Homo-oligomer: A and B are copies of this chain.
Amino acid sequence: MSVMTRINRLREGMSGLGLGAFLISQPESRRYLSGFTGHDHPPMDSAGYLLITETKLLLLTDGRTTEQAENEAPDHEVIQILEKLPVTLSEILSSLKPSRVAFEGNHLSFRLHEEVRGALRNNSVLVPTYDVVDAMRAVKEPEELEAIEAAAMLADKAFTHLLGIITPGMTEREAAWEMEAFMRKHGSEGLAFDTIIASGPNSSKPHHTPGDRPLQSGEPIIVDWGARVNGYCSDITRTIVLGEADKKFKTLYRVVLEAQTRAEERIRAGILGSKADGLARKVIEAVGFGAQFAHGLGHGVGLAIHESPRLGKKSEDVLEDGMVFSVEPGVYLPGWGGIRIEDLVTLQGGRVSVLSRAPKQIESMEV
C-alpha cells in the first residue's frame, strides 16, 4: 500500500476528529507515513517531523538529512529547519491557522510541546493523540506481513545456526554475537533489538545483557532474538539446555509451553489483549507461579519492536485480523533461572497463525 493511501486514511481520521494538522515525531510513524528512514536518537535528537494537513504534506528536517528525505519521501515537500522546529512550524502554520493541531502525546517531549505551544501562540490549540497512527500501524498490510515473515524466517535460520555451534564454555556474549553475525550477514538490517542470551541464574532476568559467563551443561539458557527486514522486526525466544535438563526444568518448561499453546489455540480476533493474556496466565497460575510471570503475554511487532497491540493483564486493545504480536509466557525464579517461550504470530481469518518456526517441543529443548 502506498504512503498516499495511508495518508488519505489518516486525513479521513483527522477530519472526523476536527484536526486541521498533525505533527508526527515518532520515528516509525514518520517512516510509515512518508518512507523517510532517517536515523535519530529521540526524543532529543530527531531527524525530522511530518506535518500533515488537509492539503499539505511536509517533512521538516535539518540540513544533514534534507537530501535523504527528498529521495525517500517523494510525496512530501521537504523543508529544512533553519532555526528550531517551533519557529519553522509557526511560520508554516501562520497562514493556515488550523484551529487544532494534533501531536503524539507519548512521543513529544515536555520541552518541545512547551516550545511549540509558545511559538503557535493562541492561533492553534495543540491536541495530544495516543493511538491514531499506532492503531493504523497495528494492522499490517500484505507487504508489511511479507517483510515480517522474512524477518521471522531469518531469525529461525539463526537459531539453527546457533544449535550447530553452541557448546558449554562458550560465553553468553559469544553466543549472542554468533546469532547477530549470522543474521547481519544474511540480510538483517541491524537487529530488531540486542540479542539476549541469559544462562543459568541470569535467565531469571527477562532483559539480561549477555556477559562473560560461560554456558554450562544442564542449566536453562534463554535465547531471545530478532532480525529486521525492510524495517520490519521479528521477535522470538527459546529456552534450551545443553545436555540433560533436570526434572524441575522439564516440569516448568511443560507449564510454560502449555500456557503458550493454550493461548495460541484459543486467541480469536475480537477479544481483548487482557483476555489473551489471561488464557496463558491461568495455566501458570494454576501451578502456583503466577507471581513469577512478571510481564505481559505479548506486544505488537512491526516497524517498532514494541508497538500496538499490548497483551497484558490490563490491556483494552482489541485483537484484530492482520495484527502481528508476540506470545511469550515466562516463569522466572531468582537464583535458579527462568524459562520463556516466545512465538511471533499473526491473526488471520480470526485465528492465530504462528510465524516463528524454530523448534520448541520438549524433545527438541535439550541440545
One of A38-46, A91-99, A344-352 contacting the partner: A38-46
**Are A107 and B194 closer than 8 Å at their CB atoms?**
no
One of A63-71, A213-221, A239-247 contacting the partner: A63-71
Determine if A190 is an interface residue (Cβ-Cβ < 8 Å).
yes
Residue of B nearest to A39 (CB): B207
- Residues 42-66 of A, flagged 1 when their CB comes within 8 A of B and 0 if not, give 1111010000000000000011110
The SS class assigned to the A binding surface is loop
Q: Which of B109, B185, B305 contacts A107 (CB 8 A)?
A: B109
Identify 11 residue pairs between A and B in the complex whose beta-carbon atoms are under 8 Å apart, listed by A's number: A39-B209, A41-B304, A41-B305, A42-B42, A62-B294, A63-B206, A106-B109, A111-B130, A177-B185, A181-B181, A190-B194
- Residues 96-113 of A, flagged 1 when their CB comes within 8 A of B and 0 if not, give 000000010111111101
Residue of B nearest to A66 (CB): B294
**Are A205 and B128 closer than 8 Å at their CB atoms?**
no
Determine if A199 is an interface residue (Cβ-Cβ < 8 Å).
no
What residues of chain B lie closer than 8 Å to A39, measured between beta carbons?
193-194, 207, 209
Q: How far is the CA of A185 from the CA of B42 in the complex (A)?
A: 28
Determine if A295 is an interface residue (Cβ-Cβ < 8 Å).
yes
The size of the chain A interface, using a CB distance under 8 A, is: 47
Q: How far is the CA of A130 from the CA of B44 in the complex (A)?
A: 11
With both chains docked as a complex, state the minimum distance between the C-beta of A225 and any C-beta of chain B, in angstroms.
14
What residues of chain B lie closer than 8 Å to A305, measured between beta carbons?
41
Residue of B nearest to A304 (CB): B41
Q: How far is the CA of A297 from the CA of B105 in the complex (A)?
A: 32
**Are A306 and B44 closer than 8 Å at their CB atoms?**
yes
Top 9 A-B pairs, shortest CB-CB distance = A63-B294, A64-B206, A105-B111, A110-B113, A105-B110, A67-B205, A68-B205, A108-B110, A64-B207
Determine if A167 is an interface residue (Cβ-Cβ < 8 Å).
no
